[in-house]
Structure 1
Amino acid sequence: MHKDFPHLLSPLRVGSLTLPNRMVMGAMHTRLETLDRPRQRLAAFYVARAAGEIGLMLTGGFSPTPEGVMEAQGPLLNSAAQLHEHVPVTSAVHRAGGRIVLQILHAGRYAKVAGCVSPSAGRARINAHAPRPLATDEVWSTVASFAHTAALAREAGYDGVEIMGSEGYLINEFTAAFTNRREDEFGGDFDGRVRLPLEIVKAVRARVGPDFLIVYRISAIDLVPQGMTASEVAELARRIQQAGADLINTGIGWHESAIPTIAASVPRAAWAGAVRNVKDAVSIPVMASNRINMPGVAEDLLASGTADLVSMARPLLADPDFAKKTRLGRVDEINTCIACNQACLDRIFTESSATCLVNPRAGRELELNGGRASRPQRLAVVGGGPAGMSFAIHAAGRGHDLTLFEAADALGGQLNLARKIPGKAEFNELLRYFETSLERAGVAVRLATRVDAEHLCAGGYDAVVIATGTAPRRPDIPGIDHPKVVGYHDVLTGRAPVGEKVAILGAGGIGFDVADFLLSDPRESLDVSAFQQAWGVDPAIAAPGGLLDLQAPARPAREVHMFQRKPAPFGRSLGKSTGWILKSRLRRARVAMTGGVAYDAIDDRGLHYTVDGEKKCFAADTIILCTGQEAERALYDQLRARGLAGHLIGGAHEAGELDAQRAIEQAVRLADAL
Structure 2
Amino acid sequence: MATYDRLLTPLTVGATVLPNRMVMGAMHTRLETLDRPHERLAAFYAARAAGEIGLILSGGFAPNPEGVMEAGGPLFNRAEQCAEHRVVTRAVHDAGGKIVLQILHAGRYAKVPECVGPSAAKARINAYAPRALSTQEVRATVADFANTAALAVQAGYDGVEIMGSEGYLINEFTAAATNQRDDEYGGSFAGRIRFALDIVRAVRATIGREPMLIYRVSSIDLVEGGMSGAEIAAFAKEIEAAGADLINTGVGWHESAVPTIAACVPRAAWRDAIRNVKEAVSIPVMASNRINTPEVAQALIDSGVADLVSMARPLLADPDFAKKTRLGIADEINTCIGCNQACLDRIFTERTATCLVNPRAGREIEFAAGKALQRKRIAVVGGGPAGMACAVNAAEHGHAVTLFEAGARLGGQLNLAKAVPGKAEFHEMLRYFEVRLKKLGVTLRLGRPATADEVAGAGFDEIVIATGVTPRMPDIAGIDHPKVVSYIDVLTGNVEAGERVAIIGAGGIGFDVAVYLLGDARESLDRGAFFRAWGVDLAKTSEGGLARLDSHGAPRRRVHMFQRKAEPLGKGLGKSTGWILKASLRKAGVTMTSGATYKAIDDEGLHYRVDGKPHVLAVDHVVLCAGQLSNRTLYDELIARGARPLLTGGADVAAELDALRAIDHATRLAMTM
TM-score band by shorter chain is over 0.9
Corresponding position: 1:114 with 2:135: no
Corresponding position: 1:452 with 2:484: no
Partner of 2:67: 68
TM-superposed deviation, 1:642? 2.1
Residue type of the alignment partner of 1:133: A
Corresponding position: 1:599 with 2:598: yes
Q: What do residues 508-562 of structure 1 show as CA deviations (whole Å, max 9, x unaligned)?
A: 1111110100001110110000000000000224211001111111110001111
Question: What's the TM-score once normalised by structure 2's chain length?
Answer: 0.99
How far apart in 1 are the matches of 2:574 and 2:517?
Answer: 20
In 2, are the aligned partners of 1:370 and 1:672 still within 8 Å (CA)?
A: no
How far apart in 1 are the matches of 2:217 and 2:527?
Answer: 22
Q: What do residues 245-278 of structure 1 show as CA deviations (whole Å, max 9, x unaligned)?
A: 0000000000000000000000000000100000
TM-superposed deviation, 1:315? 0.1
Indicate the SS of the match to 1:197.
helix
Partner of 1:487: 486
Corresponding position: 1:386 with 2:381: no
TM-superposed deviation, 1:3? 6.3
In 2, are the aligned partners of 1:315 and 1:336 still within 8 Å (CA)?
A: yes
| Residue correspondence of structure 1 range 176-187 to structure 2 within 5 A | 176-187=175-186
How far apart in 1 are the matches of 2:640 and 2:372?
Answer: 28
Q: What do residues 577-620 of structure 1 show as CA deviations (whole Å, max 9, x unaligned)?
A: 00000000000000011111111111111111111111110000
In 2, are the aligned partners of 1:295 and 1:331 still within 8 Å (CA)?
A: yes
Residue type of the alignment partner of 1:324: K
The gaps in structure 1 that reach 5 residues or longer are none
Indicate the SS of the match to 2:438.
helix
In 1, are the aligned partners of 2:388 and 2:433 still within 8 Å (CA)?
A: yes
**Structure 1 pair 582–181 and aligned structure 2 pair: CA distance change class (3 A):** same
C-alpha RMSD over aligned residues: 0.8
Partner of 2:272: 273
Partner of 1:408: 407
| Residue correspondence of structure 1 range 456-605 to structure 2 within 5 A | 456-605=455-604
Partner of 2:669: 670
Corresponding position: 1:211 with 2:210: yes
How far apart in 2 are the matches of 1:251 and 1:324?
Answer: 25
TM-superposed deviation, 1:476? 1.3
TM-superposed deviation, 1:321? 0.3
Partner of 1:646: 645
Indicate the SS of the match to 2:366.
coil
Indicate the SS of the match to 1:126.
coil
How far apart in 2 are the matches of 1:542 and 1:567?
Answer: 46
How far apart in 1 are the matches of 2:574 and 2:601?
Answer: 32
Partner of 1:426: 425
Corresponding position: 1:96 with 2:125: no
| Residue correspondence of structure 1 range 146-161 to structure 2 within 5 A | 146-161=145-160
Of stretches 633-642 and 289-298 in structure 1, the one that deviates more from structure 2 is: 633-642
How far apart in 2 are the matches of 1:492 and 1:640?
Answer: 33
Partner of 1:5: 4
In 2, are the aligned partners of 1:120 and 1:179 still within 8 Å (CA)?
A: yes
| Residue correspondence of structure 1 range 612-623 to structure 2 within 5 A | 612-623=611-622
In 2, are the aligned partners of 1:56 and 1:100 still within 8 Å (CA)?
A: yes
Partner of 2:127: 128
Question: What's the TM-score once normalised by structure 1's chain length?
Answer: 0.99
TM-superposed deviation, 1:4? 2.3
Q: What do residues 13-40 of structure 1 show as CA deviations (whole Å, max 9, x unaligned)?
A: 0111101110000000001111111111
Q: What do residues 431-471 of structure 1 show as CA deviations (whole Å, max 9, x unaligned)?
A: 00000000111110110131122221111011100000000
How far apart in 2 are the matches of 1:603 and 1:92?
Answer: 66
In 2, are the aligned partners of 1:370 and 1:394 still within 8 Å (CA)?
A: no
TM-superposed deviation, 1:667? 0.6
TM-superposed deviation, 1:505? 0.7
Indicate the SS of the match to 1:144.
helix
Residue type of the alignment partner of 1:19: L
Question: In percent, how many aligned pairs have the same letter?
Answer: 67
The gaps in structure 2 that reach 5 residues or longer are none
**Structure 1 pair 3–440 and aligned structure 2 pair: CA distance change class (3 A):** closer
In 1, are the aligned partners of 2:229 and 2:538 still within 8 Å (CA)?
A: no
How far apart in 1 are the matches of 2:488 and 2:554?
Answer: 26
In 2, are the aligned partners of 1:71 and 1:112 still within 8 Å (CA)?
A: yes
Partner of 2:39: 40
In 2, are the aligned partners of 1:602 and 1:608 still within 8 Å (CA)?
A: yes
Indicate the SS of the match to 1:47.
helix
How far apart in 1 are the matches of 2:508 and 2:87?
Answer: 43
How far apart in 2 are the matches of 1:311 and 1:77?
Answer: 24
How far apart in 1 are the matches of 2:383 and 2:591?
Answer: 36
Q: What do residues 264-294 of structure 1 show as CA deviations (whole Å, max 9, x unaligned)?
A: 0000000001000000000000000000000
In 1, are the aligned partners of 2:108 and 2:117 still within 8 Å (CA)?
A: yes
Corresponding position: 1:230 with 2:229: yes
How far apart in 1 are the matches of 2:526 and 2:383?
Answer: 31
How far apart in 2 are the matches of 1:579 and 1:370?
Answer: 36
Indicate the SS of the match to 1:481.
coil
Partner of 1:20: 19
How far apart in 2 are the matches of 1:3 and 1:395?
Answer: 30
In 1, are the aligned partners of 2:2 and 2:328 still within 8 Å (CA)?
A: no
Of stretches 279-288 and 563-572 in structure 1, the one that deviates more from structure 2 is: 563-572
